[in-house]
Amino acid sequence: MSQGEKKYIQTTLSESFTRTDEKKRKHCEEDVDQLGTESSSMERSRDSNGGAKALKPGPSANDERKGFPGSRGGASRDKPLNSNIEESDNGRTKSSTHSSSSSAFDDKRRDLDDYHGDSSKNYDDDHFEDEHGSKTDPDLDDDGDNAGIMTMQPTSKPAKTYWKGEPIKDLRYAPDCFKDEAPIEWRASHETKVMFEIPQSEPPTPYPREYFEQSHLDKSNFVFMPCSPASEIPCPQTPGKIVRRWKVIESSLHQDLPGSFELQDAILSYNFHYRKKWDFENFHSYFKKCSPNERTDFFNTVLPKMQRLALQLPSLCTQPLPMLKRNQNRKLVISQQQAACLLANAFFCTFPGRNFRQRGVIPDINFSSLFNGPSCSRKIEKLKCIFHYFKRITEKMPTGVLSFNRRTLDNTLWLKDSVDFTKMHVSCDGTIEDDGRGMLQADFANKYVGGGVLGRGCVQEEIRFMICPEMILSRLFTEVLEDRDILIMKGCERFSNYAGYSDSFKWNGNHVDTTERDCLGRLWTEVVAMDAVRVKRTDNQFAEHMVNRELHKAFCAFVDPEHNDNLPAVCTGNWGCGAFGGDKHLKALIQMIAASHAKREMCYFTFGDNSLCDEIAKINYVLCSEGLSTVDVLNKIREFRHQELLGNKKSLFKFIVTEFGLGWKDV
């Protein structure tokens, strides 16, 4: 590179960036120095199958020492590769790829020129709310319902578990508890939308066979698809010209994308009004830290397959998906292949107007929040989960089925019925996803399903969505949950293991899901998203309206209108007791009451809290041995509220036991 070229870039940098952009300016100046000393180049081409293939010459020893990424910006230029990151076992080549120095200089000049581009206009409904507004939203970026309650890694268990109550093996499980029932089949109706042909094949055939969309589609009732004829954006090359969004997406994703910066350019080509907002810092950081084999495998093998998968959207998802709207009973059924295609489009940020929470009712689905912002270990580990999912499904596409069932509770008279408490297993060891197999598994959800899964959130719900990425898709079509709404996700496959929690969360390798499938092709994995109320004042949660709200939510989550008897147990824990401020005794009793009315047994994990395990087992023993009903306990909860206002300092459990003439220590 000539001194004139270097001076041009440095002069442009000094004029373009403010003091607040000092970090970015320094990074770009280091890029210039790297380009000036680069001594080798690499050409890349597509093979006959459309995959990317690295051609010689290979990287120099100096390139390997500096961690050159195989493209501009794909790995660290000023630091060696992180030696703590193990090389991928599936690395296909040992060499990383390079761009020529002249091409890299042209790219850098173009990036600097683009920095001055106009981003004042927003299209495709992206103007509802600034995407960065959600970063400080406590509903999306806090540590969720269970913050601070883990004392051990969730996936690690002691040799001898600590439990009370019924043995876990004696609880009811699916599919055994349904073995005497007649097989069911899909029936499309006003409440059930099936996205493939019935009877289904393997893999299911999309319905209809070709993409069809009604004119003047109501975007409030249907997902606005990237391939919709109505989705248009200004042409990036011709100011003032409007083009179909899908044409730009096809053009961008048909290109060879040898590195993270090229992928960034492709995504911004149809999201160009975010060029000044999206820095892809976390995304680039991931590839700076990963091993050369892992990086090469992703850009040479996995990413090209993901591109082809995303571009199959008009042939795999041949009609707009219906929205699962508030206060309505609706079910959406899709194949795992269709889910993979939709998630690939979310990865490439193709969905119009879905980079932030829309109108306060629809969560974001594009992965831009996961790519952008300062790098942190949580988001890096999440990317590992996502990349592993795409590696798995592009090697062998799953052929099963997923169902997403939004249910709302109309009947509120159930609370007046008096029923006995069902049996219960309580343990301080174990997790819902590992030990609740065959049970209805609770997702301690945010009202925006998935919570901070695409941001910094990393507790029970976000972790579950990351190890089962098909659950992330629920954010595409599920409106905010209201007080009597829940979402049941059935058939979502688990692809990853993990260790840790919150800041200690780590992707921990591949997981082979051996769960049986039902006659419709769904795994017998049923997860219910149930959001708790956020408690601002501790005493307020015992008020009758607050207790009733949580009771209705839990009952709606646990009841099954299609099967009244012999239901599998519900597997749950400290719902709403972390950052949401819920009282553990109250939330345990609420779930026990709801499960008893829904005719389900309960498996309750206290996540390392031995004393809570003892207390819940003790109160359950008292309620069952004394023959107390759910109405009796509800009356005592109401009395506890009045006693608390008068200065009562007892815990809820102790208050109930003593009110029935027993001593807490004598139980």
Dihedral sign for Cα atoms in the order 302, 307, 312, 314: positive
Give the Cα-Cα-Cα angle 490, 492, 493 (nearest 5 degrees): 140
Dist. CA 501–CA 278, nearest whole Å: 28
Query: In the 8-state DSSP scheme, what is residue 610?
Result: H
Dist. CA 471–CA 448, nearest whole Å: 13
Helices 101-114 and 3-16, axial angle in degrees (round to 10) = 20
Give the Cα-Cα-Cα angle 29, 33, 36 (nearest 5 degrees): 135
Residue with tokens 């969905």: 351
Strands 526-531 and 440-445: parallel
Give whole-number Cα distances, 14 to 8, 22, 25, 279, 391, in Å: 10, 10, 8, 19, 41
Dihedral sign for Cα atoms in the order 211, 215, 216, 221: negative
* Two tokens, residue 658: 């003593």
Hey, which residues are catalytic here? 443, 461-462
> In this structure, which amino acid lies at residue 274?
Y
Q: Please name every residue paired with 332 in a beta bridge, in sequence order, or none if there are none.
A: 193, 404
Which ranges of 367-447 would DSSP assign to H, the alpha helix?
368-371, 377-395, 432-435
> In this structure, which amino acid lies at residue 308?
R
Long-range contacts of the stretch 99-107 (C-beta < 8 A, 24+): 99/41, 99/42, 99/71, 99/72, 99/258, 99/259, 100/41, 100/42, 100/43, 101/1, 101/35, 101/38, 101/41, 104/35, 104/38, 104/72, 105/1, 105/5, 105/35, 107/72, 107/261
Are the C-beta atoms of residues 422 and 600 closer than 8 Å to each other?
yes
